[in-house]
Amino acid sequence: MDIHEFDRLVSEDVKNLLPPEKVDYLRLPSNQHKWRDSLMRLVKNLDEQIADLSQDETQATKSLTGHLVTEYKINSDEKRTKVGRFRFYVMQRLAEAERMIALGEDSQDPDLKMADFLKRAILEHRTLMEQHEFEPTPIDLALWESVEGEWGFLGLQKELEDY
């Protein structure tokens, strides 16, 4: 999964739009640093948005007249409030990520430990398949997709019948 896709997942997690398996995927021990870094990029982006809103408001008040300035400030304040609220929730997730990293794997939920173990096993399977130039089957490909949080096994029965 590329960084942009991962960042999108992190943003959706903050908005509580992710299914539970994707939420768990972000919190895997092997993804915790990546998750934290993505949250930090998101905070930086939100801070830039707030600064840009303030700068735009300053420019607008110089060039607009009376009621247009008031309307612009109201809209700008609403946007700043929305961005600030989202930033608050991002900071909560960032605190969660920092806490998980600081506590280390020993504090992990046993299910997440097992998920991380299985992820590493699947990645090792893929590495060995590629090193020895084995042709992956549709089952292998579906398994490898699961590392990215995708369930590639739907419709696989039909594909295997034609294989």
pLDDT in tens, 52-66: 988 887 777 777 777
The reported pTM is 0.65
Tokens of 150: 């995708």
CA separation for the pair 139, 28 (Å, rounded): 23
Determine contact, residues 36/68, Cβ cutoff 8 Å: no
CA separation for the pair 70, 111 (Å, rounded): 54
Sort residue 83 into left (φ over 0), alpha (ψ -120 to 50) or beta.
alpha
> 6-40: per-residue pLDDT in tens?
999 999 999 999 998 899 889 888 899 999 999 99
How does residue 108 score in pLDDT terms, banded at 50, 70 and 90?
A: low
